[in-house]
Amino acid sequence: MLVKSNEQLLVVLDNLLREPQNFWDGFYDQTFKNVPFFVNKPDENLVSYFEKKVIQPNRVLELGCGAGRNAIYLAKQGCSVVGVDLSVNGIAMGAKKG
């Protein structure tokens, strides 16, 4: 299928990734575990890229944003960010942070 719009892209991704939603919702219910995804700071590599000016503020689509630790950082750096995730629980966690 040739994807010609954002809406078509979302439909394709939704169809490809629908089944793992229960897994990811369960994953985000376990925030008590010591998992890097639950740390309230962005990925170290991402921070390094901004500090070294390897990347500049721009428009960002973060697929699999989870609780938004990188999306929030990117927005604070001046990016226009859209985060997408299968997990309603992950998105809810991010909404509380942002």
Q: What global pTM score does this model have? A: 0.71
pLDDT tens column, 30-85: 766 677 667 789 999 999 999 999 999 999 999 989 889 999 999 999 999 999 98
What pLDDT does 13 receive? 78
Give residue 78's domain range: 6-97
Is 30 within a domain? yes
Sign of CA dihedral 57, 92, 4, 17: positive
pLDDT tens column, 5-40: 988 888 887 777 666 777 777 877 776 667 766 778
Is 47 within a domain? yes
Is 40 within a domain? yes
Nearest to 82 by CA among 57, 97, 63, 66: 63
Token pair for residue 8? 């078509």
What CATH number is attached to the domain comprising 45?
Answer: 3.40.50.150
Is 1 within a domain? no
Is 77 within a domain? yes
C-alpha separations of 10 from 5, 15, 33, 85, 86 in Å: 9, 9, 31, 11, 11
Is 56 within a domain? yes
